[in-house]
Amino acid sequence: MSPHAEYAQGEPAPGDASRPRPRSSGFARRAPGWCYRQGVTQRHQRFALLDVTFAGVAMPSATVDCWQDTRGDQQWQARVLTRTGPIAENGELAGRMADGRMLAGPALVADQQVGPGSRRETLVVFHGSGALRGL
């Protein structure tokens, strides 16, 4: 008796390279018209924000993402890599875009991740809702 006899006829046993596995794409079994875009955000923008302040305290530059969610509401997120975390939990995040426009909006600290090593840099993630003033 074969060591792989317990597997169904036509189904390859694990590690059995002598039998080809049927090729199947997960997309092939989906109904026509199915699309992953059902919950995709719209009007996404990503840009650098310079001369950043949060609750009146200067911080390094930030990367900002703005988008319109599925309900049509404006949302935004800013990420800052800094050696010191913010003192406040919420406040106004403000800064200057590369073209000189000033942006500002209310934000809260959504996450802080301290990096490894002696530099101990912290990634601070700010969340805001509503349009950024000046954008």
Per-residue pLDDT tens digits for 55-72: 999 999 999 999 998 888
Count of structural domains, the chain = 1
Worst-scoring range by mean pLDDT, 6-10, 52-56, 106-110, 131-135? 6-10
User: What average pLDDT is seen over the chain?
Assistant: 79
Do residues 79 and 93 lie in contact, with contact meaning Cβ atoms separated by under 8 Å? no
pLDDT of residue 6: 46
Residue 98 lies in a domain: yes
pLDDT of residue 38: 56
Residue 120 lies in a domain: yes
Residue 10 lies in a domain: no
Residue 5 lies in a domain: no
Do residues 74 and 65 lie in contact, with contact meaning Cβ atoms separated by under 8 Å? no
Between 24 and 126, the higher pLDDT residue: 126
Task: Tell whether the model's pLDDT for residue 121 goes beyond 50.
Answer: yes
Between 43 and 17, the higher pLDDT residue: 43
Per-residue pLDDT tens digits for 1-40: 444 444 445 544 545 455 555 554 444 454 454 444 556 5
pLDDT of residue 86: 80
Q: Which of 73, 91, 79 is nearest to 46 (CA)?
A: 79
Residue 129 CA to residue 108 CA, distance in Å, equals: 10
Instruction: Provide the residue range defining the domain that includes 43.
Output: 39-129
What is the number of other CB atoms lying within 10 angstroms of the CB of residue 129? Answer: 13
What separation in angstroms does the CA of 60 have from each of 8, 50, 81? Answer: 61, 7, 7
Residue 91 lies in a domain: yes
Average pLDDT value for residue range 102-106: 97
pLDDT of residue 132: 93
Residue 28 lies in a domain: no
Q: Token pair of 17, please?
A: 């390279």
Query: How do beta strands 90-96 and 102-114 pair?
Result: antiparallel
